[in-house]
Amino acid sequence: MKQRTLKKSINFEGIGLHTGQKVSVRINPAAENSGILFSRMDLDPALKVKASFENVRSDAMRQTALAVGSGLVRTIEHLMAAFHGLGVDNAWVEIDGEEVPGMDGSSQEFSRLLLEAGFEEQGAERKYLEVKSPVYVDHGDQSIVIVPAQSFQVSYTLSYQDENLEDQYMTITVLPEIFERELAPARTFCLKKEAEQLLAMGFGKGANPLNTLIFENNRPIGNELRYANEACRHKIVDILGDLFLCGKFIRGHVIAQRSGHSLNLELVRKLVMTKETSLDLSSKKTLTIDEIQKIIPHRYPFLFVDKIENFEPGLRATGWKQVTMNDYFFQGHFPGHPVMPGVLIVEAMAQVGGVIMLGEPENRGKIAYFMSVDQVKWRNPVRPGDSLRMEVEVLKKRSKFGQCSGKAYVGDQLVCEADVKFAVVDA
């Protein structure tokens, strides 16, 4: 299938659900392979930022917010769902404020405007992310997993475990005509007590019973349902919007239970990371620098591992660093008598430990943070020209913690040893 964009630009305006501010939006056609781009016309009109999980602000509450230059564009998920659901690969969104208008709280008005503008087929092939093996995020009573499938399907179980909103379930294959009819009209919602809490925290300033279903006793206050399971359908709309931040259309089946924006985005990160590291790490004994950088987030000048050998995910590995006079720390660390700082040797061993832990499929896309360093001993100096060999093995591991023992050598000479404990956390 070919990529497509809009045939013409469209304009609309409205009030943001959270900020309560009036904003104007213009959506334009965009060149092939552009993706969905956002510009803050009131801040830096020339800056175009791609709607990607890499640019999302992770601390946004009950919304998906995109960092655009010095500002934000909040609540992009319903518009992104319309692009995803209707099959729009490329578009440029110009907005003169901080939040996409809420409209009626659904994707319906966005879908209507996009359909009225019409779509134009482009020359490039559409980009797909095809799920080859399960990728999951499990937070106990909240979970989301994507498994292989020939089309894009979503199954959602809504369970607020609250007498004011009954449990709901839906499974659906997502196609443009199905999205337009069965999903786009589903409106955002919350419980009455949640609405009061959000207002007290400064959110929901533009929300009202007409654009937000406020549930009490299983019914929306001052409004009527469009579907018996409208809340569940809207959760699927949110998933469509958030998952499109991977930059591709998906072939896979999403199965979610009580997930929200944070879990959706965590799945996107893991899904993209898994695709980027599609090599079978369980059978990979040697890792190049490119492969190492797909596992741990460190970059120059703080990446101290050049190569990994004897790699056994979750168990052990040997890391190498070639120490040269060009390493930046020699400029100020005993410049007349250059030796590698001892703390950086410990850091290098910890990075090898991070590769061991984060190389496991369930930890892909996460980060390892220091918790403690014990039994540290520096035996001999490391100088320019030395090849630093780091033998690291896992002593203990749990789902969110790991403890490694490392020894660093130059040739057969032990130069440093330490036990490092760290936490494995979501990126």
Phi-psi region of 87 (alpha: psi -120 to 50; beta: other; left: phi over 0): left
pLDDT (tens digit, 9 = 90+) per residue, 310-343? 999 889 999 999 999 888 898 888 888 899 999 9
pLDDT (tens digit, 9 = 90+) per residue, 97-139? 999 999 999 999 999 999 999 999 999 999 999 998 899 898 8
Mean pLDDT of 271-297: 75
Task: Say if residue 273's pLDDT is above 80.
Answer: no
In sequence order, what are the residues at sequence separation of 6 or more whose Cβ sits closer than 8 angstroms to the Cβ of residue 157? 167, 168, 169, 232, 256, 257, 258
Cβ atoms 203, 102 nearer than 8 A: no
Percent of the chain with pLDDT over 90: 74
Comparing 215 with 136, the larger pLDDT belongs to 215
Query: What pLDDT score was predicted for residue 427?
Result: 63
Domain 281-426 CATH class label: alpha beta
CA dihedral 213, 226, 78, 22 (to 10 degrees): -60
Query: What pLDDT score was predicted for residue 280?
Result: 56
The structure tokens 């009950």 sit at 62
| Domain range summary for the chain, segments of one domain joined by + | 2-124, 129-261, 281-426
333 is catalytic: yes
Query: What pLDDT score was predicted for residue 59?
Result: 64
Cβ atoms 135, 267 nearer than 8 A: yes
Which candidate in 78, 234, 333, 337 is catalytic? 333
253 is catalytic: no
Which candidate in 18, 261, 298, 337 is catalytic? 261
Enter the CATH code of domain 129-261: 3.30.1700.10
Instruction: Identify which of 310, 341, 337, 311 has the alpha carbon closest to the alpha carbon of residue 323.
Output: 341
Mean of the per-residue pLDDT values for the chain?
92
Enter the CATH code of domain 2-124: 3.30.230.20
pLDDT (tens digit, 9 = 90+) per residue, 370-424? 899 999 999 999 999 999 999 999 999 887 888 999 999 999 999 999 999 989 8
